[in-house]
Structure 1
Amino acid sequence: MDDQEDSLFKRCVIGSCGEELKEKPTLADIRRWSSTNWKKAFGGNIYKLNGNAFLFEFPNKHMAEQTLQGQWRWKNCSFHLEWWNPLIGSIPNYLKCKETWIRVVGIPLHLWSQKVFQEIGEVCGGWIATVEETELKNHMKWARLLVASDGRKIPKEVSIERNRITYHFPIWVECKPSFEIAPESGYGTNGKETRLNPVQCFTYGIIQSASCNSVLESHQLRDSSRKQHVGCKRKTAGGERFNETCDLHMTHLNLKSDLGLLSKPNGTMP
């Protein structure tokens, strides 16, 4: 990772609505909303991600930290902000989703029916529901169906035969990417070698480069008991012992539970 990329990552923030919305915000909506509410954060870029998530690229880290301090709402729901990290939008590989949305591309008008949707859904693990915009024919670019599958064994194509004609429909699976974390060697707060994963190493990089005393506390870079930024007393790196502020902050971050255990627990996604 070069210095330019590293600088970009440390001024990027992910924002998302904390609740399911009937009316999802568009990119244009969020651009208008941010320009109205974030008067001191200007000149940045906004990108649409999956679901209700958006990527905010600020001109500098100071603007990003100032924005993270606020409590924001989109209409009647909370709008949550957090620092970008390499695992945003992904799930641990050991978790299995019970349901997945799929898009069936190119279904012709004479096959656009609930019976055909259910037939396709059964091939893909079991039909559960058809989204309202598909039932109403708001557009016919694809049919969007919810199926009983984690998305890993859904076929890339489904064939439907009618009147001696076989149609082959491509399937787009809307499942999140998964990840596995390989441990790396590093040094803990006691100065002894320990096992760190790449995300922890990345987070350490953000912590040690934090510009202290320039802003108030942010939820990712603060000592919860002293309300100070990490490293306010002194910077440490490598095998040197972290100061008391850093020790408290690492406990507050609880990286293992927040960013993925190195072991493989049992569990399923709801």
Structure 2
Amino acid sequence: MVEALLWVGFRREEEVIDQGVGKSGRSYLEVVRGAEPRSIPRARIEIKEEEIRNNVCRLKHCLIAKWNPKSAREEELANLGWTSAKAWGLKGRLGLARMGKGCALLEFEMVEEAKRVLAAGVRAIGGIQLGLEMWSPSYGCCTEDKEGNDAWVRILGLPISLWVPSVLRRVGEECGGFLGVDPLTEKKEDLEWARIQVKRTGGALSCSMEIGVEGEIYTVFLWWEISPAIRKNRDGQQRREVGDDVDPRAG
């Protein structure tokens, strides 16, 4: 079982000699940055407003709820929808969908009740302090001039043999600059991916990386956790994009 895990995302060096990577004979681990992205046109589609009208109408009944992930246990979150509906005295139904750590979408059957809850300011629900705001089409997006200087990157399928602090640091440096490691990665509690925080330097984002260990090459893929970017199109309409030049889950 362990042997099989070590071979995830692995290929022999002989298969990549044509890419200019030969046997080095070195006794230390060498991180080799993946090939620079080629000038491939960014994929784009145009959507008519009528295609998303029904979905947007439903979202106008929604609030975004935020809380400190460390302040709530899983069993408390499972009952958050029911507890909130009772605390707010709702007559209509309330739906809840998670949007990530410490964030959820609350869908009210009646938009008037969503507005009333937002105006009432009742925030402590079942011991959880909530921050509430109305949903908007630009929620979760950032303007291009306000993109963050750092990002979290998931290294998908990183072989367990490479879960070493120095290796994660060198991968981070190749991604723009190493900043830190997710606690779950440090503790090796979730081996589906390794998660590191890196600096953003602008430009294209690498979607894969090669890690050379003496005579062998591992190829791993990168998942960038980046909010969609939004900007005004030339005709005055807003345009949304994900990441810079690649899909954050590219691979």
TM-score (norm 1): 0.60
1:108 paired with 2:156, answer: no
Corresponding residue of 1:62: 112
Matches within 5 A, 1:59-208: 59-71=109-121, 72-73=123-124, 78-149=129-200, 153-182=204-233
Amino acid at match of 1:89: G
Moved beyond 4 Å, runs of 4+: 23-27, 74-78, 196-199
Decide which moves more: 64-73 or 162-171: 64-73
Change in Cα spacing, 1:86 to 1:169, as seen in structure 2 (3 Å) is same
Aligned-CA RMSD value: 2.8
Q: 1:22 aligns with which of 67, 70, 73?
A: 70
Residue identity (%): 23
Does the 8 A contact of 1:12 with 1:56 survive in 2? Answer: yes
The CA deviation at 1:114 is 0.5
Structure 2 gaps, min length 5: 1-48, 240-251
The 1-side partners of 2:190 and 2:218 are apart by 20
* Equivalent in the alignment of 1:209: none
Contact 2:230–2:238 (Cα < 8 Å) also in 1: no
TM-score (normalised: structure 2): 0.64
Give the number of the structure with larger relative contact order, counting CA–CA contacts within 8 Å between residues 6 or more apart.
Answer: 2
The structure with the greater share of residues assigned to strand is 2
What is the letter of the counterpart of residue 136 of structure 2? N
| CA distance 1:25–1:50, change in 2 (3 Å) | same
Closer, same or farther in 2 for the Cα pair 1:171/1:25, shift >3 Å? farther
User: How many angstroms apart in 1 are the aligned matches of 2:110 and 2:58?
Assistant: 8
Gaps of 5+ in 1: 185-195, 200-270
Q: Distance in 1 between matches of 2:182 and 2:150?
A: 14
Structure 1 residues 170 and 25, CA gap change in structure 2 (3 angstroms): farther
- Deviations along 1:92-112, whole A, 9 cap, x unmatched? 111231111111011112111
Q: Secondary structure at the match of 1:49?
A: strand
